[in-house]
């Protein structure tokens, strides 16, 4: 159990968090193209999916990996107003007691993502969702990550963002879509927000 360890548990990255395009691990940061599999820096994986029968079958809307320095840099571009709105939303919407039960009692990755972190809706009830993982090298860390956020909750989070923050995210999307061709298809529908 996770509660027996001071260090977060790391597990092999499950198939759902591998690149659908190659079937293998994400190996470069989408923003700075830093090597990810050498284990020198933690990184996050974000995928927007349409699940069918839970995670047994799904279609991917977009997917990418971003090194933690780039993710922190992106997060710093969120306006103060937007950050206050997001923090208030999360503090009032997430059932931290239930989430703690999962993170301290389970080592099953599916348990971390079977319900929306915010809306508590089952993966079987959502038409679209975004899933997040934190990884280092070829391992995924269990703890705050991984988690799933339903499309409904993502829409609510998007409504909290200031125009300034929306412009920053649109600029990032345009920058990444104008970048290497393999990113253009993946990001046509996103990224909406990295939370």
What integer pLDDT is reported at residue 30 of this predicted model? 92
What integer pLDDT is reported at residue 176 of this predicted model? 60
Q: Is residue 184 part of a domain?
A: no
Q: 133 Cβ partners below 8 Å, 6+ apart?
A: 13, 17, 44, 45, 140, 145, 146
What integer pLDDT is reported at residue 194 of this predicted model? 47
Q: Are 48 and 155 in contact, with CB atoms under 8 Å apart?
A: no
What integer pLDDT is reported at residue 170 of this predicted model? 78
Residue 18 has pLDDT above 50, yes or no: yes
What integer pLDDT is reported at residue 74 of this predicted model? 87
Please choose, from the candidates 4, 16, 1, 8, the residue with its C-alpha nearest in 3D space to the C-alpha of residue 147: 16
Q: Is residue 65 part of a domain?
A: yes
Q: 125 is in which domain, residue-wise?
A: 2-170
Given pLDDT bands bounded at 50, 70 and 90, which one contains residue 192? very low
Q: Is residue 175 part of a domain?
A: no
3-class SS string, 33-74: CCECCCCCCEEEEEEEEEEECCCCEEEEEEEEEEEHHHHHHH
Q: Is residue 17 part of a domain?
A: yes
What integer pLDDT is reported at residue 165 of this predicted model? 85
3-state secondary structure at position 26: coil
What integer pLDDT is reported at residue 4 of this predicted model? 43
- Cα 172-175-181 angle, rounded to 5 deg: 130
Question: Considering its fold, how many domains does the chain have in total?
Answer: 1
Q: Is residue 185 part of a domain?
A: no
């Amino acid at each position: 159990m996770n509660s027996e360890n001071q260090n977060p548990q790391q597990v092999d990255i499950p198939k759902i968090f591998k690149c659908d395009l190659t079937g293998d691990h994400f190996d470069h940061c989408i923003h700075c193209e830093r090597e990810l599999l050498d284990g020198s820096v933690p990184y996050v994986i974000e995928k927007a999916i349409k699940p069918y029968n839970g995670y047994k079958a799904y279609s991917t809307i977009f997917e990418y990996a971003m090194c933690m320095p780039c993710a922190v840099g992106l997060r710093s571009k969120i306006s103060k107003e937007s950050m206050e709105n997001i923090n208030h939303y999360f503090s009032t919407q997430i059932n931290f007691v239930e989430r703690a039960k999962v993170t301290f009692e389970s080592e099953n990755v599916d348990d971390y993502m079977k319900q929306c972190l915010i809306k508590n809706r089952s993966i079987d009830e959502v038409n679209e969702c975004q899933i997040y993982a934190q990884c280092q090298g070829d391992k995924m860390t269990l703890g705050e990550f991984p988690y799933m956020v339903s499309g409904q909750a993502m829409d609510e989070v998007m409504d909290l963002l200031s125009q300034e923050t929306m412009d920053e995210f649109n600029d990032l999307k345009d920058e990444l879509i104008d970048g290497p061709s393999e990113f253009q298809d993946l990001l046509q529908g996103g990224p909406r927000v990295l939370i």
